[in-house]
Amino acid sequence: MVNFVAEEKKFVLVVDDVLQNLQVIGTALMDAGYEISMATNGQQCLEMLETIYPDLILLDIMMPEMNGYEVCKKIKSNDVLKEIPIIFLTAKTETKDILEAFEAGGSDYVTKPFNQAELLARVNTHITLRKSKDLLLMINNRMKDIMQNYQTTLDVIEADLLLKIRSIKSKLESLIEQQYQEKKFHDDYTELMDLVSSVENSLKQLIEIN
């Protein structure tokens, strides 16, 4: 039996060019039970994502060489990585900056200096949403497999039953013909023939419905 509710350690990648921020965020996450990896720039983040698959990425916006928006766009353009939720870490609070974060593919943002409880709440929320989506997709795919197997089995059973009914019908027709020729015809034969025809028609209707 598949255990759909199995708990597993949640894994977060933190990307920030300020070491103090990495230490503070990393400590908060580990104290809350998360596994973490850290990157100090966008390029290092992208290289790490070639070998790891975090449940969520905390991504600083203001970084040298490649800012957080650019990193996010590269991640979202990758079919393997695009479903990973990204929360931006930013000191920017203007509407245009927040809109740019969402347009780049971010799931949420936390402003600096951040509140630890708020940060952990948002991390937990987006990981839960992501895992719930994955679970629903898995259940949906499993149900499709079950229905496909069920339909295949049902088709085989229906075909077999139809073949047997037609065989019985054929034998009855031969028997009735023989009874006519021998002048020993009995009403029971016609009743039985009617019953076979009725069963055959019902089975045909079932096949059409399926």
The domain ranges of the chain are 11-114, 143-209
Q: In the structure, what pLDDT confidence band is assigned to residue 4 with cuts at 50, 70 and 90? A: very low
User: What tens digit of pLDDT does each residue of 126-139 get?
Assistant: 998 888 888 777 77
Whether the predicted pLDDT of 186 surpasses 60: no
Neighbours of 13 (CB within 10 A): 22
pLDDT score of 1? 36
Spatial separation of the C-alpha atoms in residues 48 and 51, rounded to whole Å = 6
The pTM assigned to this predicted structure is 0.67
pLDDT score of 42? 95
Q: Which residues contact 47 (CB under 8 A, 6 or more apart)?
A: none
**Residue 65 CA to chain centroid, in angstroms?**
36
pLDDT score of 39? 96
pLDDT score of 151? 67
Per the model's pLDDT, the better-predicted residue between 90 and 194 turns out to be: 90
User: What tens digit of pLDDT does each residue of 20-73 get?
Assistant: 999 999 999 999 999 999 999 999 999 999 999 999 999 999 998 899 999 999
What's the topology of domain 11-114? Rossmann fold (3.40.50)
User: What tens digit of pLDDT does each residue of 139-166 get?
Assistant: 777 777 776 776 677 677 777 777 777 7
pLDDT score of 97? 85
CA distances to 14, 126, 203 from 67, rounded to whole Å, are 14, 22, 66
Question: Which parts of the chain are beta strand (E)?
Answer: 11-15, 35-39, 56-60, 86-90, 108-111
User: What tens digit of pLDDT does each residue of 64-98 get?
Assistant: 889 999 999 999 999 999 999 999 998 887 888 88
- The dihedral of CA 27, 122, 41, 92: what is its sign? negative
